[in-house]
Structure 1
Amino acid sequence: MSLLGGCAPPEPLRLGFIGGLTGRSADLAESGHKGALLAVEQANAAGGIGGRKIELVARDDGQNPAMAVRALEELAALRVEAVIGPLTSAMAVAVLPAAEKAGLVMVSPTVTASPLSGKDDQLFKVVSSTREHASHSAKYVYAQGARRVAAAYDLGNSAYTRAWLTDFREALVALGGEVVVDAAFTSGDDPSYRNAVNTLVTARPDAILLIANAVDTVRLLLIARKQGFAAKAIGVTWAATEQLIELGGRTVEGLILTQYFNRDDTSPRYQAFQATYRARFKEDPGFASIAAYDATRATLFAIGKRGKEPLKQALLTAGPYEGAQDIWNFDRFGDGQRKAYVTIVRDGRFVNVE
């Protein structure tokens, strides 16, 4: 019997993924997972990193803090190089202490809550904060004549929704407007939706602001329209998924949303990405898939370039990074700086207006 040495392939390089793959916000994580998977598949097709194939290991956080912490600890035990995710600010807040303890870098595609920005920690964020998106939204609706805005926000992702509300309020007040009333609701609780909408409509605002995921935005807006509220409605980036239009139909026509994805991008870079994504998943990419693709590519690039330095330092110095739409970078705190776009739902699609 002969012994063959050196024939076994090297152990794969593991990259974690954490997102709410089940529940009412699953569309966000499912889209993000596809973007991350495409980036991994492309890297493997190009030979991997240092001859090692990359394995994407996904865990569901269920939009539940305890579940999210368990997911992070499981991935740390598997010795993943880094984690792509989480995808919501509430889950980032929940898992950050565990990530700090494990020394595990998290690169989130879609976490934007401004209180999480400007911190020297293990959390990297690919896109700009709620301050950028909310202020952009406030300026646009103010220019469109909205002076009195009533807002509803989801308690289940309060790290994000409260930050969005605070940043929007500050920007609107600075312009001369006001948030006349705000109402919290609990996702999945129908009486909670109705109570929140009643509070908003009773205030007779120029516009309503719905700080919620796609499913809940449709539900809230449907209740408001049935009550006869015909004025402007504003959504947030969290809701700007393809599911919003699929579920909302005519109800979401005219909805104003600020997002960091240029859906009218005709650049060769984006057109190539879009064609590849369509061929792989039989659907168009959304904001979460693009952001996760960028997050994963940046992470893999930094891993390949880091040498002996910690990944956190490598991510801060290896850029600028080539994304699906643009060249971007992290600042010294690991916060991404990306342009915001105002879109309106028209004829069943997101249309850039600013």
Structure 2
Amino acid sequence: MKPHLLLAGLLALLLTACGKPEPIRIGFIGGLSDRTNDTGEAARNALMLAIEQRNATGGIDGRPLEMLVADDGQEASLARKAMSALIAGQPAAIVGPYTSAVAEAILPQADQAGIVLLSPVITSMQFVGKDDMLIRLNRSTRDNAGDYAQQLIGRGISRLAVALDVRNRAFSASWLDELRASYPALGGEILTVVEFHSAASTSFSDIADQLLDAAPGGLLFIANAVDVARLAQQVRKRSTDVPLAAVEWASTEQLLELGGRAVEGLLVAQSHNRDDPGARFTAFREAYKARFGREPGYTAIATQDAAIVLFDALARQSRALPLKRAIIEGGPYPGLQQDIRFDRFGDSTRKIHFAEIRNGAFVLVP
């Protein structure tokens, strides 16, 4: 598979020859061809919309923004090739990646090239507190696992079986490590952990059997939306009442569309409030729906926040101020639902919102 790139070099030369200002190139890297590509497509769409809106108001200092798009294929070797192609396009910064496994693969390239990676969603602890070219707009797996532990114990779920996708091990292993620290501290017990490699051929019926053989009080899925939907369907063939939960990675519209009745009652965290009536969020939501014909998912919303940060920092950046410093020192930034601030390492945090799936929709719960 070849990375899909908008080749900007020739266009830049033509624009310069016509006396027009050279565009500022913004890279994007995400999963666009994998079977779980809804998160990548939503993120790409959000950045495309943000660039269109910024260009409609004059760009940045009169320079238009131009988007370079690369498909990471959700696989390390493909991601590194995609990253190399992006770097060759000389972007001012790259928005992405969207999984910790891809971040692990491409961050050394970003560090070597001195190009900022602005990741809207990754959470793995291996990226926290590091002085590198990665800027994170999300919380950490430690934050999320601790909040899940409280939710599960608060619901009377003190015996847990866990299914874990090792294809994105940088995320899933970090999440499990943090759960093993927080859940038992509150009186919970992890009875069994069933690992699997996400693929179309994965036998989710066997995984469901292994999970339920432990006689748990609840199940937790550390996996993407497609796999959570398939797991839930197999579990519900065997048990109609065992409580289900999934980590925030699964919190996309695909979970609702593919899970159907099997995911009713499932608990999942979200990085945004879908019912927020605030003006900034409402304006973005309506613009996204008008442009793409569907609701923005969590990666779209987080990507819009990343665009807000990036465009503001680019507008303030001077030749003497590297972009990473401009981003870190520039906040707070007015995100869609909260102000965004960074520590000295470029780490941020977000509020968390828990929801249950009821009647085919995410419904916020206390």
TM exceeding 0.5: yes
Query: What's the offset of the Cα at 1:168?
Result: 1.8
Q: 2:353 aligns with which of 329, 341, 345?
A: 341
Deviations 1:39-61, CA, capped at 9 Å, x for gaps: 11111111011111001111000
Deviations 1:181-227, CA, capped at 9 Å, x for gaps: 10101112545433322221100101101011111001111111112
The separation in 2 between residues aligned to 1:233 and 1:61, in whole angstroms, is: 31
Q: 2:28 aligns with which of 10, 17, 28?
A: 17
Does residue 92 (structure 1) correspond to residue 131 (structure 2)? The answer is: no
Match of 1:52 in 2: 63
Q: How does 1:30-109 map to 2 (within 5 A)?
A: 30-109=41-120
The separation in 2 between residues aligned to 1:42 and 1:271, in whole angstroms, is: 15
Matched to 2:336, the amino acid is: A
Match of 1:138 in 2: 149
The separation in 2 between residues aligned to 1:22 and 1:83, in whole angstroms, is: 19
The separation in 2 between residues aligned to 1:190 and 1:16, in whole angstroms, is: 33
Query: What's the offset of the Cα at 1:266?
Result: 1.2
Deviations 1:313-343, CA, capped at 9 Å, x for gaps: 1110111111122211112111111111111
- Greater mean alpha carbon deviation, residues 308-317 or residues 195-204: 195-204
Deviations 1:225-279, CA, capped at 9 Å, x for gaps: 1122521111111110011101111111001001211112111221122111111
Q: How does 1:219-298 map to 2 (within 5 A)?
A: 219-228=230-239, 230-298=241-309
The separation in 1 between residues aligned to 2:176 and 2:268, in whole angstroms, is: 14
Deviations 1:11-67, CA, capped at 9 Å, x for gaps: 211000000101122011011111111111111111011111001111000001011
Deviations 1:71-118, CA, capped at 9 Å, x for gaps: 111111110001000100000001011111111110011111122111
The separation in 1 between residues aligned to 2:272 and 2:155, in whole angstroms, is: 22
2:275 alignment partner, SS class: coil
Ranked by relative contact order (alpha carbons within 8 Å, sequence separation 6 or more), the top structure is 1
Contact 1:149 1:208 in 2 (8 A): yes
> What number of residue pairs does the alignment pair up?
350
Deviations 1:136-160, CA, capped at 9 Å, x for gaps: 1110111000001100111110111
Matched to 2:220, the amino acid is: L
Q: 1:313 aligns with which of 296, 314, 325?
A: 325
- Greater mean alpha carbon deviation, residues 89-98 or residues 165-174: 165-174
Matched to 1:145, the amino acid is: G
Match of 1:323 in 2: 335
Contact 1:35 1:290 in 2 (8 A): yes
Matched to 2:257, the amino acid is: E
The separation in 1 between residues aligned to 2:123 and 2:52, in whole angstroms, is: 27
The Cα RMSD (Å) is 1.4
How many percent identity over aligned positions?
Answer: 43
The separation in 1 between residues aligned to 2:270 and 2:239, in whole angstroms, is: 28
1:146 alignment partner, SS class: coil
Match of 1:163 in 2: 174
The separation in 2 between residues aligned to 1:229 and 1:204, in whole angstroms, is: 14
Contact 1:147 1:177 in 2 (8 A): yes
Contact 1:146 1:206 in 2 (8 A): yes
Query: What's the offset of the Cα at 1:6?
Result: 7.6
Match of 2:13 in 1: none
Matched to 2:293, the amino acid is: K
Does residue 352 (structure 1) correspond to residue 364 (structure 2)? The answer is: yes
- TM-score normalised over the length of structure 2: 0.93
The separation in 2 between residues aligned to 1:258 and 1:169, in whole angstroms, is: 18
The separation in 1 between residues aligned to 2:128 and 2:253, in whole angstroms, is: 27
The separation in 2 between residues aligned to 1:75 and 1:293, in whole angstroms, is: 20
